[in-house]
Amino acid sequence: MDSESWFESLEAILVFIVPLLFIIPLYVLGFITQALGNCISYTVYIAGSVGLTKYNKRTLAEIGLTRKGLIPSLGNSMILVLAFSLTRFIVADLKLSPDVYSLEVVAFNVFFWALSGLGQEILFRGLILFSLNRWKGWKVALLVSTILFGLIHVLRYPSISGIVLISVIGGFWGWIALKTKNIIGTTIAHFIFNFLFAFMLIS
């Protein structure tokens, strides 16, 4: 374990917490919408994760931003998307959202969910997961990153079952990131998952 990893782990957690300290009050007071708050958070997560990685003289590959391991990362990550898709089609009467027929809305959702996928993956499955892995090992790293990933979805899934489901998904993708040392595959799968089930397909 690196002697500086405890401090890098603390810095990684702060990248998660600090934006929320500003954005949540602005959202509660009605100054910004949830969508705008999310866009700001994801942008800060991306810039903060890359900036902090460079500041600590680490390569982007050390937080999973590398071509190496992309195929197994993407392949294994998409298994979850396909399994969830099949389950939803069986148990729910899914149909295309009426918003799909608006090019402007589709374009916004492509941007928003791509930003969401990258922002969450680079912070939770990249910076936090790998810094904690260097400090405390993979079990603690996976547990903490999974819990934080679940917490960030409390507003979107305000039920225990919703948070548990999203945490399980995050834990699965975290395990893949640890095994493949790659978050590009999980990021692509995350975008596809969000775009399909948060926008394109409704029950």
Could you say which DSSP state residue 95 is in? E
User: What is the predicted pLDDT for the residue at 171?
Assistant: 97
Across all residues in the chain, what is the average pLDDT?
A: 94
Which is nearest to 127 in space by CA: 16, 1, 3? 16
User: What is the predicted pLDDT for the residue at 2?
Assistant: 58
Could you say which DSSP state residue 157 is in? S
Alpha helices (H) along the chain: 5-28, 34-55, 70-91, 103-120, 129-136, 138-151, 160-180, 184-195
What value does the mean pLDDT take over residues 29-52? 96
What value does the mean pLDDT take over residues 149-168? 87
d(CA 59, CA 45): 17
pLDDT tens digit string along 96-123? Answer: 999 999 999 999 999 999 999 999 999 9
Q: In sequence order, what are the residues at sequence separation of 6 or more whose Cβ sits closer than 8 angstroms to the Cβ of residue 99?
A: 105, 106, 109, 199
Dihedral, CA of residue 150, residue 59, residue 12 and residue 124, to nearest 10: 0
pTM of the shown model: 0.94
Which tokens belong to 182?
């790659």
The answer to whether residues 53 and 60 touch, using CB atoms and an 8 Å cutoff, is: yes
pLDDT tens digit string along 53-93? Answer: 999 999 999 999 999 999 999 999 999 999 999 998 888 88
d(CA 130, CA 121): 12
Q: How many CB atoms lie within 10 A of CB 55?
A: 11
Q: Where are the domains of the chain?
A: 5-202
**Nearest 5 degrees, angle CA 147-CA 79-CA 172?**
15
pLDDT tens digit string along 114-152? Answer: 999 999 999 999 999 999 999 999 999 999 999 999 999
